[in-house]
Amino acid sequence: IEQWTIYQHTEKKSVTLYQFASAQLSFKSSSYRLTHFAGDWAGECNMSEVELTEGIKVIDSKLGTRATFFAHPMCLLSLNGRMTEDNGEVIGMALAWPANFKLEFEKNNNQELRVLAGMNPYASHYKLKKGDVFQTPSFLYTYSTKGNGQVSRNFHRWARKYGLRHGENSRYTLMNNWEATYFNFNEPKLKSIIEDAAGMGFELFLLDDGWFGQKHPRNNDDAGLGDWVVNKEKLPNGLGWLVKQCTDNDIKFGIWVEPEMVNPQSELFTNHPDWVIGLPDRENRLERSQYLLDLSNPEVRSHILDVMRELLGKHPDIAYVKWDCNRKISDPGSAWLDARHQGNLAIDYVRGYESVLDALAEEFPQVVFQACSSGGGRADYGTMRRHHEFWTSDNTDACERVFMQWSIGHLFPAISMGAHVTASPNHQTGRAAPLKFRFDAAMSGRLGFELQPCDMTDEEMAFSRHALAEYKRIRPVVQFGDLYRLSSPYESRVASLMYVREDRAVVFAWLMDKWLADAPPPLRLKGLKPEARYMLRELNMDENGSITNVHERVLGGDFLMNAGIRIHWKRAFQSVCLEVGEQE
């Protein structure tokens, strides 16, 4: 169910809105348990459960951008007892808004609960002129009597059809140069990565941060944002030459941008300091050496559109845009809005952002847009109406990604989650993990790659080529299948989930830790036909070979769901990717 509120007035003077929720839900139950999601940069979307007692619990954000950076505008509410994957009354909820939000849960002494959801009105009293129409963002919710697993499947099916841009189209496998090179690249280095990416079978090469800025070259975080011209020292032949390298190697080209931001060291800031969000006569605080442009200002929106039209129009073969947003609104103030309308800023900023993305989607419908915001700061259904996927986290550690992808997968489908294979030891955590484990973690989402191919051994390259080919084969099941969670990393040392689509399924399992006397229970599969027979085959096997008792066996659906499969775990960070195919 999708619910929103529309305010319209026909008075002679302006009207000010002080509260503007999207929806209210009321319940009468013996108990209420709330599962909500919170985190921080590189540790997004941690899941926790609390019992609601008398009083008010509030989950909110006041960041202005990056709505999901700390808290998350989605939750699960269990009625009349604790939910499990397959049992219990559960309401799944999400607010489709990429900025300040507020979810309020108020329980009284009569066991009644009121849920109020919408944009956060904090410092956002909104003035409407006569005839203005103000529509709140959609509040999305679904009901299940069969536990939170059914809630996830309801949300995922809806999302692929209505909640994501082109959610019924498969997503590219891609090679991103970020962790391979960071800002330190040139044409020969990128040409080598493109050729390796094409040779491995990737479908797209993504050029990340650092390609722009001439007077103020983008060689680190300190300069260049706002000056979207090619850095001729790094790329003397321009973007067109790089695009041609991709075309010649039968691979698509994508690019990183952050058009909402500006560095003080930039020509844009020098020419238009009044375009920056900030308070008059007060020091404007920097974050990541950058300011936020005021998207409530139509001149700023027009400038961003001109920049993107120049980039995408001049290079029509650009197939993918990674759109980043690396800071919040810390000092809210707009030189464009008069004193009486400063409360409109937080909302008008988002409306401006949405209008820019809507215009680009109409003019360049073939371009795939990824939402990145210091990692997973815009993993919400407001953003996803205008983007095809989100970057789940800047933390690419496969072990920690299992937890993050497990959590956010409660309401978002695998097709929306960017997940990449990266170096070991990991650049963020220093944790080492086998290449197979890293692939199996990334293959449970939208697969990408950030290793530097020239630093890999022949064996690693061969394994990667084979794993990539296997992912493309099972991609329809992962990206469009129904999700069934088998074993939670929050409750067990084994994490496991599976996707089921028609007569095929794919099972993933990861051993997060190994104790000497461990005896993990068998994995009992779900979502299969009890009467059907299935061929099982392990994918991505490494030097350890098969570690299950079902590889290349034909077994009944009833056996797989009741007796289950056994995995012979030997050490931490082992993993299994198992294909299950129905036999005629």
Sign of CA dihedral 147, 149, 154, 158: positive
Per-residue DSSP letter, 237? T
Q: What angle do CA 498, 500, 506 make, to 5 degrees?
A: 50
The residue to which tokens 């195919």 are assigned:
581
Q: Any idea what the Cα angle at residue 138 is, between residues 365 and 377, rounded to 5°?
A: 70
- What is the CB neighbour count within 10 angstroms for residue 55? 9
Q: In whole angstroms, give the CA distance from residue 338 to residue 201.
A: 54
* C-alpha closest to that of 115 among 128, 132, 102, 96: 102
Quote the CA–CA distance of 131 and 117 in Å, as a whole number: 25
Type and span of the H or E element at 397: none
What are 60's strand-pairing partners? 102
* 3-state class (DSSP) for residue 477: helix
User: Whole-angstrom Cα distance, residue 418 to residue 403?
Assistant: 14
- Out of 208, 209, 294, 394, pick the active-site residue: 394
Query: How far is 245 from 242, CA to CA, in rounded Å?
Result: 5
How far apart are the C-alpha atoms of 537 and 65, rounded to whole Å? 44
CA dist 336 and 276 (Å) reads 10
Token pair 């061969």 in the structure block, residue: 462
Half-sphere exposure of 206 (CA within 13 A, CB side): 27
Evaluated on CA atoms 196, 170, 499, 95, the torsion sign reads positive
- Name the one residue in this structure whose structure tokens are 């009944």: 556
* Residue pair 316/277 in contact by the 8 Å Cβ criterion: no
Of the residues 196, 209, 294, 324, which is catalytic? 324
- In the three-class reduction of DSSP (H, G, I as helix; E, B as strand; rest coil), residue 449 is classed as strand
Whether 503 is a known active-site residue: answer no
Hey, is 507 helix, strand or coil?
strand
Helix/strand/coil (H/E/C) assignment for every residue in 344-386: HHHHHHHHHHHHHHHHHHHHCCCCEEEECECCECCCCHHHHCC
Query: What region, left, alpha or beta, does residue 558 occupy, with left being phi > 0 and alpha being psi -120 to 50 degrees?
Result: alpha
Half-sphere exposure of 286 (CA within 13 A, CB side): 10
Q: Which of 392, 436, 435 is nearest to 540 (CA)?
A: 436
**Contact predicate 49/35, CB 8 Å:** yes
* 40 is a catalytic site residue: no
455 near 199, Cβ under 8 Å? no
What token pair was written down for 210? Answer: 């650092």
Task: Report, as residue numbers or ranges, the catalytic residues.
Answer: 324, 394
